[in-house]
Amino acid sequence: MKIKNNSTIALIDDDLDLLDLLASFFRQRGYKVLAFSNAEEALIDFENKRAEADVVISDLKLPVMSGMEFIKRIKKSHPNLPIILMTAEGSVETAVEAIETGAYDFVLKPLHIPQLLISVQRALHLNEVQTENKNLKSLFHGQDFMGLKGVIGKSQGFKKAMELAKRVSSSQANILISGESGSGKEVIAKAVHELGDKKDGPFIAINCSAIPENLLESELFGHAKGAFTGANDKKIGLFEEANKGTLFLDEIGDLTLSLQAKLLRVLQERKVKRIGENQYRDISARIICATHKDLRKEVTEGRFREDLYFRLNVIPIYMPPLRERKDDILPLSEYFLKKFALMNNMPVKGFSKEAIQKLEAHTWKGNVRELENAIERAVVLSSSEILQVDDLPTEDVFRQETPSSTSDEATNDLLAFKHNEPVTLDELSKKYIQYTFDKNGGAKEQTAKDLGIDRKTLYRKLKEMNLN
Protein backbone atom coordinates (compact mmCIF):
# COMPACT_ATOMS: atom_id res chain seq x y z
CA MET A 1 0.00 0.00 0.00
CA LYS A 2 1.40 3.35 -1.06
CA ILE A 3 2.08 5.77 1.81
CA LYS A 4 1.87 9.51 1.55
CA ASN A 5 5.21 11.03 2.56
CA ASN A 6 3.53 14.12 3.98
CA SER A 7 1.13 12.26 6.31
CA THR A 8 1.12 13.38 9.93
CA ILE A 9 0.70 11.05 12.89
CA ALA A 10 -0.18 12.28 16.38
CA LEU A 11 1.13 10.06 19.21
CA ILE A 12 -0.32 10.21 22.75
CA ASP A 13 1.28 8.16 25.55
CA ASP A 14 2.57 8.91 29.05
CA ASP A 15 5.31 6.28 28.59
CA LEU A 16 8.00 8.62 27.27
CA ASP A 17 10.33 5.81 26.19
CA LEU A 18 7.59 4.23 24.05
CA LEU A 19 6.61 7.66 22.77
CA ASP A 20 10.19 8.31 21.65
CA LEU A 21 10.48 4.83 20.08
CA LEU A 22 7.29 5.22 18.04
CA ALA A 23 8.17 8.77 16.97
CA SER A 24 11.58 7.61 15.74
CA PHE A 25 10.05 4.60 13.94
CA PHE A 26 7.51 6.66 11.97
CA ARG A 27 9.88 9.55 11.21
CA GLN A 28 12.33 7.10 9.64
CA ARG A 29 9.53 6.05 7.27
CA GLY A 30 8.77 9.54 6.04
CA TYR A 31 5.96 10.55 8.39
CA LYS A 32 5.62 13.79 10.27
CA VAL A 33 5.08 13.15 13.97
CA LEU A 34 3.38 15.13 16.75
CA ALA A 35 4.08 13.72 20.24
CA PHE A 36 1.95 14.36 23.35
CA SER A 37 2.43 12.93 26.84
CA ASN A 38 -1.24 13.45 27.79
CA ALA A 39 -4.57 13.53 25.96
CA GLU A 40 -5.77 16.84 27.42
CA GLU A 41 -2.85 18.75 25.87
CA ALA A 42 -3.47 17.05 22.52
CA LEU A 43 -7.20 17.85 22.64
CA ILE A 44 -6.58 21.55 23.33
CA ASP A 45 -4.12 21.80 20.43
CA PHE A 46 -6.52 20.05 18.04
CA GLU A 47 -9.53 22.14 19.07
CA ASN A 48 -7.55 25.37 18.76
CA LYS A 49 -6.19 24.21 15.39
CA ARG A 50 -2.59 24.37 16.59
CA ALA A 51 -2.32 20.69 15.66
CA GLU A 52 -3.56 18.75 12.64
CA ALA A 53 -3.00 15.07 11.91
CA ASP A 54 -4.08 12.37 9.47
CA VAL A 55 -4.22 9.66 12.13
CA VAL A 56 -3.90 9.52 15.95
CA ILE A 57 -2.34 6.71 17.98
CA SER A 58 -3.31 6.97 21.65
CA ASP A 59 -2.85 4.87 24.76
CA LEU A 60 -6.07 3.83 26.50
CA LYS A 61 -4.93 4.50 30.09
CA LEU A 62 -3.66 8.04 30.46
CA PRO A 63 -3.47 10.52 33.35
CA VAL A 64 -6.21 13.21 33.63
CA MET A 65 -8.09 12.07 30.50
CA SER A 66 -8.34 8.47 29.25
CA GLY A 67 -7.99 7.49 25.63
CA MET A 68 -11.70 6.62 25.55
CA GLU A 69 -12.69 10.08 26.80
CA PHE A 70 -10.29 11.67 24.30
CA ILE A 71 -12.06 9.87 21.44
CA LYS A 72 -15.49 11.05 22.59
CA ARG A 73 -14.36 14.68 22.74
CA ILE A 74 -12.14 14.85 19.66
CA LYS A 75 -14.88 13.31 17.49
CA LYS A 76 -17.05 16.39 18.08
CA SER A 77 -14.59 18.63 16.25
CA HIS A 78 -12.87 16.03 14.04
CA PRO A 79 -15.51 13.36 13.24
CA ASN A 80 -13.51 11.73 10.42
CA LEU A 81 -10.15 11.57 12.21
CA PRO A 82 -9.09 7.89 12.55
CA ILE A 83 -7.85 7.01 16.05
CA ILE A 84 -5.96 3.84 16.91
CA LEU A 85 -6.07 2.83 20.60
CA MET A 86 -3.23 0.98 22.34
CA THR A 87 -3.90 -0.99 25.50
CA ALA A 88 -2.60 -3.85 27.62
CA GLU A 89 -6.20 -4.93 28.29
CA GLY A 90 -7.17 -7.58 25.78
CA SER A 91 -10.80 -8.09 26.75
CA VAL A 92 -13.47 -8.25 24.06
CA GLU A 93 -15.62 -5.81 26.03
CA THR A 94 -12.91 -3.15 25.96
CA ALA A 95 -12.36 -3.59 22.24
CA VAL A 96 -16.09 -3.36 21.49
CA GLU A 97 -16.44 -0.26 23.65
CA ALA A 98 -13.49 1.39 21.89
CA ILE A 99 -14.91 0.74 18.43
CA GLU A 100 -18.41 1.86 19.46
CA THR A 101 -16.94 5.05 20.91
CA GLY A 102 -15.36 5.84 17.55
CA ALA A 103 -11.90 4.24 17.49
CA TYR A 104 -10.73 3.13 14.04
CA ASP A 105 -8.65 0.20 15.39
CA PHE A 106 -7.52 -1.45 18.61
CA VAL A 107 -3.97 -2.84 19.15
CA LEU A 108 -2.57 -4.70 22.13
CA LYS A 109 0.54 -4.08 24.17
CA PRO A 110 3.29 -5.18 24.08
CA LEU A 111 3.15 -3.65 20.63
CA HIS A 112 3.90 -5.52 17.44
CA ILE A 113 5.11 -2.43 15.56
CA PRO A 114 4.77 -3.87 12.01
CA GLN A 115 1.12 -4.63 12.84
CA LEU A 116 0.67 -1.06 14.09
CA LEU A 117 2.20 0.22 10.85
CA ILE A 118 -0.33 -1.79 8.81
CA SER A 119 -3.15 -0.30 10.88
CA VAL A 120 -1.80 3.21 10.23
CA GLN A 121 -1.52 2.54 6.48
CA ARG A 122 -5.11 1.32 6.36
CA ALA A 123 -6.31 4.37 8.27
CA LEU A 124 -4.48 6.69 5.87
CA HIS A 125 -5.89 4.80 2.89
CA LEU A 126 -9.37 5.25 4.36
CA ASN A 127 -8.70 8.99 4.62
CA GLU A 128 -7.69 9.14 0.97
CA VAL A 129 -10.77 7.21 -0.17
CA GLN A 130 -13.10 9.41 1.91
CA THR A 131 -11.48 12.59 0.56
CA GLU A 132 -11.67 11.27 -3.01
CA ASN A 133 -15.34 10.35 -2.59
CA LYS A 134 -16.09 13.76 -1.12
CA ASN A 135 -14.38 15.50 -4.05
CA LEU A 136 -16.15 13.30 -6.60
CA LYS A 137 -19.52 13.92 -4.96
CA SER A 138 -18.82 17.63 -4.96
CA LEU A 139 -17.91 17.47 -8.65
CA PHE A 140 -20.93 15.35 -9.49
CA HIS A 141 -23.45 17.44 -7.56
CA GLY A 142 -21.97 20.64 -8.90
CA GLN A 143 -23.72 19.91 -12.20
CA ASP A 144 -27.39 20.96 -12.27
CA PHE A 145 -29.84 20.39 -15.14
CA MET A 146 -33.60 20.96 -14.71
CA GLY A 147 -33.15 20.67 -10.96
CA LEU A 148 -31.27 17.37 -11.28
CA LYS A 149 -27.77 17.09 -9.85
CA GLY A 150 -25.07 15.45 -11.91
CA VAL A 151 -26.89 15.55 -15.27
CA ILE A 152 -24.68 16.92 -18.05
CA GLY A 153 -25.86 18.01 -21.48
CA LYS A 154 -26.93 21.07 -23.42
CA SER A 155 -27.66 19.79 -26.93
CA GLN A 156 -31.18 20.11 -28.32
CA GLY A 157 -31.56 16.34 -28.63
CA PHE A 158 -30.59 15.81 -25.00
CA LYS A 159 -32.84 18.64 -23.79
CA LYS A 160 -35.79 17.28 -25.75
CA ALA A 161 -35.41 13.83 -24.20
CA MET A 162 -35.03 15.29 -20.69
CA GLU A 163 -38.01 17.62 -21.08
CA LEU A 164 -40.21 14.72 -22.15
CA ALA A 165 -38.93 12.70 -19.19
CA LYS A 166 -39.92 15.55 -16.88
CA ARG A 167 -43.40 15.89 -18.41
CA VAL A 168 -44.24 12.19 -17.93
CA SER A 169 -42.41 11.66 -14.62
CA SER A 170 -45.53 11.90 -12.46
CA SER A 171 -47.74 9.84 -14.77
CA GLN A 172 -48.18 6.09 -14.45
CA ALA A 173 -47.81 5.45 -18.19
CA ASN A 174 -45.22 2.92 -19.33
CA ILE A 175 -42.07 4.45 -20.82
CA LEU A 176 -39.82 2.88 -23.46
CA ILE A 177 -36.43 4.55 -23.90
CA SER A 178 -34.59 3.76 -27.12
CA GLY A 179 -31.09 4.64 -28.26
CA GLU A 180 -27.71 3.16 -29.03
CA SER A 181 -25.65 1.40 -26.38
CA GLY A 182 -23.77 3.88 -24.24
CA SER A 183 -25.88 6.88 -25.29
CA GLY A 184 -27.28 7.53 -21.80
CA LYS A 185 -30.64 5.77 -21.61
CA GLU A 186 -30.22 5.14 -17.88
CA VAL A 187 -29.77 8.89 -17.34
CA ILE A 188 -33.28 9.40 -18.75
CA ALA A 189 -34.69 6.61 -16.58
CA LYS A 190 -33.13 8.12 -13.44
CA ALA A 191 -34.50 11.53 -14.41
CA VAL A 192 -38.04 10.10 -14.62
CA HIS A 193 -37.52 8.54 -11.20
CA GLU A 194 -36.03 11.63 -9.54
CA LEU A 195 -38.62 14.03 -10.96
CA GLY A 196 -41.65 11.84 -10.24
CA ASP A 197 -43.63 10.78 -7.19
CA LYS A 198 -41.46 7.67 -6.73
CA LYS A 199 -38.27 9.63 -5.99
CA ASP A 200 -38.23 8.65 -2.29
CA GLY A 201 -38.29 4.96 -3.22
CA PRO A 202 -35.45 2.83 -4.61
CA PHE A 203 -34.16 3.00 -8.17
CA ILE A 204 -33.14 -0.51 -9.25
CA ALA A 205 -31.58 -1.18 -12.65
CA ILE A 206 -30.90 -4.52 -14.31
CA ASN A 207 -29.43 -5.34 -17.72
CA CYS A 208 -31.59 -8.10 -19.18
CA SER A 209 -28.90 -9.15 -21.66
CA ALA A 210 -26.21 -9.67 -19.02
CA ILE A 211 -27.91 -12.49 -17.08
CA PRO A 212 -28.80 -16.00 -18.35
CA GLU A 213 -32.54 -16.65 -18.74
CA ASN A 214 -32.90 -19.07 -15.83
CA LEU A 215 -31.15 -16.68 -13.43
CA LEU A 216 -32.91 -13.60 -14.82
CA GLU A 217 -36.35 -15.02 -14.04
CA SER A 218 -35.30 -15.65 -10.45
CA GLU A 219 -33.79 -12.14 -10.20
CA LEU A 220 -36.97 -10.49 -11.46
CA PHE A 221 -39.66 -12.59 -9.78
CA GLY A 222 -37.86 -14.15 -6.81
CA HIS A 223 -38.24 -17.75 -5.71
CA ALA A 224 -39.42 -19.88 -2.82
CA LYS A 225 -37.08 -22.00 -0.73
CA GLY A 226 -36.45 -25.30 -2.52
CA ALA A 227 -38.03 -24.10 -5.78
CA PHE A 228 -35.04 -25.49 -7.68
CA THR A 229 -31.58 -26.92 -7.06
CA GLY A 230 -29.53 -24.34 -5.16
CA ALA A 231 -32.55 -22.40 -3.86
CA ASN A 232 -31.53 -22.87 -0.24
CA ASP A 233 -33.56 -19.89 0.94
CA LYS A 234 -36.36 -17.73 -0.34
CA LYS A 235 -35.47 -14.74 -2.53
CA ILE A 236 -37.40 -11.52 -3.06
CA GLY A 237 -37.43 -10.52 -6.73
CA LEU A 238 -36.57 -7.09 -8.11
CA PHE A 239 -40.21 -6.31 -8.88
CA GLU A 240 -40.89 -6.51 -5.14
CA GLU A 241 -37.63 -4.84 -4.09
CA ALA A 242 -38.49 -1.84 -6.24
CA ASN A 243 -41.86 -1.32 -4.54
CA LYS A 244 -42.70 2.38 -4.14
CA GLY A 245 -39.76 3.09 -6.43
CA THR A 246 -38.62 2.38 -9.99
CA LEU A 247 -37.43 -0.78 -11.72
CA PHE A 248 -35.38 -0.05 -14.85
CA LEU A 249 -35.22 -2.97 -17.29
CA ASP A 250 -32.37 -2.21 -19.68
CA GLU A 251 -32.00 -4.07 -23.00
CA ILE A 252 -35.57 -5.35 -22.80
CA GLY A 253 -35.28 -6.46 -26.42
CA ASP A 254 -33.05 -9.36 -25.32
CA LEU A 255 -35.75 -11.00 -23.17
CA THR A 256 -36.81 -14.47 -24.31
CA LEU A 257 -40.39 -14.91 -25.51
CA SER A 258 -41.33 -16.82 -22.35
CA LEU A 259 -40.09 -14.01 -20.10
CA GLN A 260 -41.79 -11.47 -22.36
CA ALA A 261 -45.11 -13.22 -21.67
CA LYS A 262 -44.51 -13.07 -17.92
CA LEU A 263 -43.51 -9.40 -18.07
CA LEU A 264 -46.69 -8.63 -20.03
CA ARG A 265 -48.77 -10.25 -17.29
CA VAL A 266 -46.99 -8.23 -14.61
CA LEU A 267 -47.67 -4.99 -16.50
CA GLN A 268 -51.33 -5.90 -16.96
CA GLU A 269 -52.12 -7.18 -13.48
CA ARG A 270 -49.50 -5.38 -11.36
CA LYS A 271 -48.88 -8.66 -9.54
CA VAL A 272 -45.96 -11.10 -9.41
CA LYS A 273 -45.61 -14.72 -8.38
CA ARG A 274 -42.32 -16.06 -7.09
CA ILE A 275 -40.93 -19.22 -8.68
CA GLY A 276 -42.24 -22.21 -6.72
CA GLU A 277 -45.15 -20.33 -5.18
CA ASN A 278 -48.85 -20.04 -6.04
CA GLN A 279 -49.39 -16.75 -4.22
CA TYR A 280 -49.57 -13.52 -6.21
CA ARG A 281 -48.15 -10.37 -4.63
CA ASP A 282 -49.11 -6.79 -5.47
CA ILE A 283 -46.36 -4.49 -6.71
CA SER A 284 -46.32 -0.70 -6.82
CA ALA A 285 -43.02 -0.16 -8.63
CA ARG A 286 -42.86 1.99 -11.72
CA ILE A 287 -41.37 -0.03 -14.59
CA ILE A 288 -39.25 1.73 -17.21
CA CYS A 289 -37.76 -0.21 -20.12
CA ALA A 290 -34.97 0.56 -22.57
CA THR A 291 -33.48 -1.03 -25.65
CA HIS A 292 -30.92 -0.39 -28.37
CA LYS A 293 -32.87 -2.59 -30.79
CA ASP A 294 -35.60 -1.63 -33.25
CA LEU A 295 -38.49 -3.38 -31.49
CA ARG A 296 -40.83 -2.86 -34.42
CA LYS A 297 -38.44 -4.89 -36.56
CA GLU A 298 -38.11 -7.47 -33.77
CA VAL A 299 -41.91 -7.78 -33.71
CA THR A 300 -42.06 -8.23 -37.50
CA GLU A 301 -39.42 -10.97 -37.36
CA GLY A 302 -41.16 -12.76 -34.48
CA ARG A 303 -38.55 -12.16 -31.78
CA PHE A 304 -40.64 -9.74 -29.71
CA ARG A 305 -44.29 -9.95 -28.73
CA GLU A 306 -46.46 -7.37 -30.45
CA ASP A 307 -48.84 -7.04 -27.48
CA LEU A 308 -45.89 -6.39 -25.13
CA TYR A 309 -44.44 -3.84 -27.55
CA PHE A 310 -47.67 -1.82 -27.57
CA ARG A 311 -47.96 -2.16 -23.78
CA LEU A 312 -44.43 -0.79 -23.28
CA ASN A 313 -44.42 1.87 -25.97
CA VAL A 314 -47.03 4.19 -24.43
CA ILE A 315 -44.47 6.99 -23.97
CA PRO A 316 -41.48 6.53 -26.31
CA ILE A 317 -38.38 8.58 -25.49
CA TYR A 318 -35.44 8.61 -27.89
CA MET A 319 -31.91 9.36 -26.70
CA PRO A 320 -29.85 10.48 -29.71
CA PRO A 321 -26.32 9.10 -30.15
CA LEU A 322 -23.45 11.36 -29.11
CA ARG A 323 -22.48 12.09 -32.73
CA GLU A 324 -25.84 13.86 -33.07
CA ARG A 325 -25.26 15.79 -29.83
CA LYS A 326 -22.05 17.64 -30.65
CA ASP A 327 -22.81 20.31 -28.03
CA ASP A 328 -22.59 17.65 -25.28
CA ILE A 329 -19.09 16.44 -26.14
CA LEU A 330 -17.12 19.27 -24.51
CA PRO A 331 -19.08 19.49 -21.21
CA LEU A 332 -18.95 15.71 -20.86
CA SER A 333 -15.23 15.69 -21.65
CA GLU A 334 -14.56 18.38 -19.05
CA TYR A 335 -16.53 16.45 -16.44
CA PHE A 336 -14.68 13.20 -17.16
CA LEU A 337 -11.34 15.03 -17.09
CA LYS A 338 -12.03 16.44 -13.60
CA LYS A 339 -13.34 13.09 -12.42
CA PHE A 340 -10.34 11.04 -13.52
CA ALA A 341 -7.82 13.71 -12.50
CA LEU A 342 -9.22 13.50 -8.96
CA MET A 343 -9.38 9.72 -8.95
CA ASN A 344 -5.81 9.31 -10.17
CA ASN A 345 -4.32 12.35 -8.39
CA MET A 346 -3.19 13.82 -11.71
CA PRO A 347 -2.57 17.57 -12.23
CA VAL A 348 -4.50 17.69 -15.52
CA LYS A 349 -6.69 20.80 -15.76
CA GLY A 350 -8.00 21.16 -19.32
CA PHE A 351 -7.75 20.57 -23.06
CA SER A 352 -5.78 22.31 -25.78
CA LYS A 353 -7.74 23.85 -28.66
CA GLU A 354 -6.55 21.09 -31.02
CA ALA A 355 -7.61 18.37 -28.54
CA ILE A 356 -11.11 19.88 -28.32
CA GLN A 357 -11.34 19.94 -32.11
CA LYS A 358 -10.36 16.27 -32.29
CA LEU A 359 -12.93 15.31 -29.64
CA GLU A 360 -15.70 17.19 -31.42
CA ALA A 361 -14.75 15.78 -34.84
CA HIS A 362 -14.81 12.13 -33.77
CA THR A 363 -17.99 10.13 -34.52
CA TRP A 364 -18.11 8.34 -31.11
CA LYS A 365 -19.78 5.15 -32.28
CA GLY A 366 -19.43 3.89 -28.72
CA ASN A 367 -21.18 7.06 -27.49
CA VAL A 368 -20.63 8.42 -23.97
CA ARG A 369 -19.01 5.20 -22.80
CA GLU A 370 -16.35 5.46 -25.50
CA LEU A 371 -15.77 9.14 -24.70
CA GLU A 372 -15.33 8.35 -21.02
CA ASN A 373 -12.78 5.62 -21.78
CA ALA A 374 -10.85 7.94 -24.11
CA ILE A 375 -10.65 10.74 -21.50
CA GLU A 376 -9.61 8.34 -18.74
CA ARG A 377 -6.80 6.96 -20.91
CA ALA A 378 -5.65 10.48 -21.82
CA VAL A 379 -5.65 11.70 -18.20
CA VAL A 380 -3.72 8.68 -16.93
CA LEU A 381 -1.08 8.86 -19.66
CA SER A 382 -0.74 12.66 -19.85
CA SER A 383 2.50 14.31 -18.71
CA SER A 384 1.21 17.90 -18.69
CA GLU A 385 -1.56 19.97 -17.14
CA ILE A 386 -3.25 20.57 -20.50
CA LEU A 387 -4.27 17.54 -22.57
CA GLN A 388 -2.81 17.79 -26.05
CA VAL A 389 -4.13 16.19 -29.22
CA ASP A 390 -1.37 13.54 -28.99
CA ASP A 391 -2.65 12.51 -25.53
CA LEU A 392 -5.95 11.37 -27.01
CA PRO A 393 -6.23 7.87 -28.47
CA THR A 394 -5.24 7.52 -32.12
CA GLU A 395 -7.82 6.67 -34.74
CA ASP A 396 -6.61 3.06 -34.65
CA VAL A 397 -7.33 2.87 -30.93
CA PHE A 398 -10.68 4.59 -31.45
CA ARG A 399 -11.60 1.94 -34.01
CA GLN A 400 -10.58 -0.84 -31.64
CA GLU A 401 -12.78 0.60 -28.87
CA THR A 402 -15.76 1.28 -31.14
CA PRO A 403 -18.36 -1.51 -31.10
CA SER A 404 -18.48 -1.50 -34.88
CA SER A 405 -18.42 -5.28 -35.03
CA THR A 406 -22.11 -5.25 -34.16
CA SER A 407 -22.97 -3.27 -37.28
CA ASP A 408 -24.16 -4.64 -40.60
CA GLU A 409 -20.92 -3.43 -42.21
CA ALA A 410 -18.84 -5.56 -39.87
CA THR A 411 -20.98 -8.59 -40.62
CA ASN A 412 -20.65 -8.01 -44.36
CA ASP A 413 -16.87 -7.70 -44.03
CA LEU A 414 -16.78 -10.88 -42.03
CA LEU A 415 -18.76 -12.90 -44.52
CA ALA A 416 -17.22 -11.36 -47.67
CA PHE A 417 -15.25 -13.66 -49.94
CA LYS A 418 -11.77 -12.35 -50.68
CA HIS A 419 -11.34 -11.66 -54.42
CA ASN A 420 -14.56 -13.66 -54.98
CA GLU A 421 -12.76 -16.84 -53.96
CA PRO A 422 -15.03 -19.32 -52.14
CA VAL A 423 -14.15 -20.58 -48.67
CA THR A 424 -14.97 -23.93 -47.10
CA LEU A 425 -17.97 -24.25 -44.84
CA ASP A 426 -15.67 -25.08 -41.90
CA GLU A 427 -13.65 -21.88 -42.47
CA LEU A 428 -16.81 -19.80 -42.67
CA SER A 429 -18.21 -21.43 -39.51
CA LYS A 430 -14.98 -20.81 -37.66
CA LYS A 431 -14.95 -17.12 -38.66
CA TYR A 432 -18.58 -16.62 -37.70
CA ILE A 433 -18.25 -18.33 -34.32
CA GLN A 434 -15.18 -16.22 -33.55
CA TYR A 435 -17.02 -13.08 -34.68
CA THR A 436 -20.03 -13.83 -32.45
CA PHE A 437 -17.76 -14.76 -29.53
CA ASP A 438 -15.84 -11.46 -29.85
CA LYS A 439 -19.03 -9.44 -30.30
CA ASN A 440 -20.30 -10.74 -26.94
CA GLY A 441 -17.03 -10.04 -25.17
CA GLY A 442 -16.36 -13.73 -24.53
CA ALA A 443 -19.75 -14.37 -22.89
CA LYS A 444 -20.36 -18.02 -23.75
CA GLU A 445 -24.01 -18.06 -22.67
CA GLN A 446 -24.94 -15.19 -25.00
CA THR A 447 -22.74 -16.55 -27.82
CA ALA A 448 -24.45 -19.92 -27.69
CA LYS A 449 -27.84 -18.17 -27.64
CA ASP A 450 -26.98 -16.02 -30.67
CA LEU A 451 -25.72 -19.06 -32.59
CA GLY A 452 -28.80 -21.10 -31.70
CA ILE A 453 -26.81 -23.88 -30.02
CA ASP A 454 -26.38 -25.04 -26.42
CA ARG A 455 -23.28 -24.34 -24.35
CA LYS A 456 -21.92 -27.89 -24.64
CA THR A 457 -22.03 -27.65 -28.42
CA LEU A 458 -20.30 -24.26 -28.29
CA TYR A 459 -17.53 -25.63 -26.04
CA ARG A 460 -17.03 -28.56 -28.41
CA LYS A 461 -16.81 -26.32 -31.48
CA LEU A 462 -14.42 -23.91 -29.76
CA LYS A 463 -12.19 -26.83 -28.89
CA GLU A 464 -12.43 -28.49 -32.33
CA MET A 465 -11.65 -25.26 -34.17
CA ASN A 466 -8.94 -24.19 -31.70
CA LEU A 467 -10.70 -20.87 -31.06
CA ASN A 468 -10.03 -18.49 -28.18
Considering the domain architecture, whether residues 255 and 388 belong to the same structural domain is answered as: no
CA 85 from centre of chain = 35
Summarize the confidence of residues 301-324 as an average pLDDT: 95
Residue where one domain finishes, among candidates 288, 318, 348:
318
Considering the domain architecture, whether residues 14 and 59 belong to the same structural domain is answered as: yes
Considering the domain architecture, whether residues 202 and 307 belong to the same structural domain is answered as: yes
Q: What is the pTM of this model?
A: 0.59
Model pLDDT, residue 292: 94
Considering the domain architecture, whether residues 103 and 81 belong to the same structural domain is answered as: yes
Does residue 2 lie within any of the structural domains?
no
Boundaries of domain holding 202? 155-318
Considering the domain architecture, whether residues 169 and 313 belong to the same structural domain is answered as: yes
What residue spans of 313-391 are helical by DSSP H? 326-343, 353-361, 367-381
In this structure, of 19-33, 122-136, 151-165, 287-301, the range with the lowest mean pLDDT score is 122-136
Split into its structural domains, the chain has a count of 4
Cβ–Cβ under 8 Å, residues 312 and 174: yes
Model pLDDT, residue 407: 43
Euclidean distance between CA atoms 274 and 384, whole angstroms = 56
Q: What is the pLDDT of residues 413-443, one digit of tens each?
A: 454 444 445 566 667 777 778 877 777 666 7
Bridge partners of 83, per DSSP, are 56
Residue 200: pLDDT above 60? yes
> Which residue type does 129 have?
V
Measuring CA to CA, how many Å separate 149 from each of 175, 190, 239, 304?
22, 11, 27, 36
Q: What is the CATH number of the domain that holds 422?
A: 1.10.10.60
Considering the domain architecture, whether residues 333 and 309 belong to the same structural domain is answered as: no
Residue where one domain finishes, among candidates 350, 369, 401:
401
- Average pLDDT of the chain? 84
Considering the domain architecture, whether residues 164 and 286 belong to the same structural domain is answered as: yes
Considering the domain architecture, whether residues 170 and 314 belong to the same structural domain is answered as: yes
